[in-house]
Amino acid sequence: MARHSKDSASHLSDEMEYYDESGPFGLTGPRLAIVILLLLIAFVMFCAFDLLNSSNAVMDEAQVVMGTLDDMKDTAKAGDFDRLQELSAEISESARKIRGDVHSPAWFIASFVPAIGQDVHSVQTLSDVFVDLADNALAPIASNPAVLNYKDIFNDGTVDVAALEGLATALEDVQPVLSRCSAQVADLPDAHVSRLAEVLPKVQGAITSAGDAVDTVQSFLPHLNYLLGSGGGKRNYLVVALTNAELRSAGGFPGSWTLVTVEDGKISMGKTVTLQQKADDFLQFQDDEKAAFPGVTGNMGSIPFLPDFTRVGALMAQGYEHHRNVHIDGVIAIDPVFLQRVLALTGGVTASDGTLVDGTNAAWELMSNAYWRFGNEGSKQDQFFAEVASLSFNMLTHNLGKVGMANLFSLISDSAADHRFQMWMENPEVQGIIEDLGFSGKVSDDPTKPVLGIYLNDNTWAKIGWYTKLDTQVSEPTENVDGSKTYDVTTTITNSAWSDELEYSPRYVWGYNWDDKRTDTDMILFPLIMAPAGGKLSDLHTGGFGWLSQYTLYGLDCVTGVMHADVGESIVLTYKVTTAPEAAELLQVRETPLAQERLLSIEYDWER
């Protein structure tokens, strides 16, 4: 028995020793580690494969969403309300599918990978934002008939105030959603993966733009009744056509003045008149304005010598009220280039003499060809301009619904940016909104955002401005001890006409200022150069083409005087511009809009 027990103990000891050296399924420690490693690799490969498939599915679904969004735009234009709701539901379903894919285990694992994990979190955030937008912004808008019937808001020269308020209310409901989503995507870090790096800024920009658009509508909402003359509050607006063929700081010579009345949303166009020869000695010009431009009080046509449209608009309203005995609530100034852009959307008009004026030739027809066709017969020119203005106004008011609000707002925004569309409103609250939108034509007084102003005023008494070319070159800045920056600037003003061209042109084109002209083809200009707020101009050289003197206008350092340029000649002005020490941005340049866009250029010696 004792021996048997010993053998048994020995056998048990051997079994215990064998068990201690093995793992599950009889695998030894090293073998077990290898198997576990292989399993992990297989799992990672499976997750990677799943992630790859999921990524492709997400991209495919995203493409579907983009296509559906395009379909929604077309459907909204077509007025198919039922289909619009169907497309909204499809986008919501796709957005949820994307969110489900990017929150899968494979994406969860990938979120722990250095660098890539950050992009995974960004994609997951975007998916949540897409669902939020689909459910809480697109769906409510798609279910609101006011959105679909925007064409009916502008119908036959009338604005449906109630429908417009309904649209604004619908947009008001989605404003918090857009703000929330915009804040979420704005905080996302720069992407490492190229596809995401390409898409992310577009998404951020699109959401921000949508939010800005809604904010714009919201800002106007409280003032709609006032602006559209509803409830018996008729509004009188003055539309002034500025011609860049005779240059002025604020755009051009005010050739025609048209009264537009809005009452309960109905827009009516009054008589177009010319006031350029009317005296303006009753106008309340400031001392600094009279000092910089002693001749500014000559007649009504001189008001736009001033570069700040917040002053120009107010003085135009004052002048019109004085001469026509009609109170003016607001002034809108446009030029032929703006009109050409409008006609590109609405379609052209045909004058009684058979002349077609459209989105390809309005600027040339109104600022050049008309003077050749009618010669020195100013009354015929005025009649033609007034007729084209009336036809264009009717074309616009009867086609507002067709051109689309987005297209129209984009056109106005772009034209306000190059000062071919400017507004002034008597109501201070509305004027504040106009300034915030960038529509006011106001001279910048913000030292943190420096703007150099380069303005041209014609003194040839002619339409020779059609041939004016303006080019400005701005160097890289030099940092000064006080934190300000100094730029070397060269401004070149060229008379781009040909001598034989002007030689055979009507005198209306090449000018009536016999006393000051050096030759028949001489171009006489009053340039005005204004330093940015808190800055200064220095080291000015005129190249011998005239003289410039130092002034202060609206608290800004500036120079103005008289310059000459015959055909083919260029006035070259070189000078230094120093910004305020607190300037937080690089220098921008604002120039008088020219008759021919191709003759206007600004070049910065750095990437903007």
The overall average pLDDT reported for the chain is 84
Phi, psi values for residue 54, rounded to 5°? -65, -40
pLDDT greater at residue 240 or residue 187: 240
Per-residue pLDDT of 298-333, as tens digits, reads 789 999 999 999 999 999 999 999 999 999 999 999
How many residues comprise the chain? 608
Which residue has 């019109």 as its token pair? 320
pLDDT at 223: 85
Q: Please tell me the predicted confidence (pLDDT) of residue 299.
A: 83
Q: How far is 359 from 340, CA to CA, in rounded Å?
A: 5
Which tokens belong to 353?
């003499």
Q: What does the pLDDT look like over 84-103, one tens digit per residue?
A: 788 888 888 888 887 887 78
254 closest CA partner among 232, 270, 238, 268: 238
Q: What pLDDT digit, counting tens, does each position of 394-414 carry?
A: 888 888 767 766 788 889 999
In the chain, ranges of CATH 3.40.630 domains: 231-428
Question: pLDDT band for position 359 (50/70/90)?
Answer: very high
CATH of 231-428, one of 3.40.210, 2.40.160, 2.60.120, 3.40.630: 3.40.630
The C-alpha torsion from 28 through 29 and 31 to 37, rounded to 10°, is 150
Q: Which of 7-16, 88-97, 274-283, 559-568 has the largest mean confidence?
A: 559-568
Half-sphere exposure in the Cβ direction for 596 (13 Å, CA): 18
pLDDT score for 277? 78
Other CB atoms within 10 Å distance of the CB of residue 68: 17
The two tokens of residue 135 are 């459910």
pLDDT band at 49 (very low <50, low <70, confident <90, very high): very low
H/E stretch holding 364 reads helix 362-364
Report pLDDT for 18: 43
User: What average pLDDT does range 463-469 have in this prediction?
Assistant: 97
| Residue 205 confidence class, pLDDT cut points 50, 70, 90 | confident
Task: Report if pTM > 0.75.
Answer: yes
pLDDT at 38 over 60: no
For position 118, what pLDDT does the model report?
Answer: 82
Amino acid 31: pLDDT: 58
Confidence at residue 48, expressed as pLDDT on a 0 to 100 scale? 44
The pLDDT of residue 248 is above 60:
yes
Both tokens assigned to 245: 């063929």
User: Measured between alpha carbons, how far is residue 403 from residues 22, 147, 270, 351, 411 in Å?
Assistant: 81, 15, 24, 22, 11
Of 147 and 348, the one with more pLDDT: 348
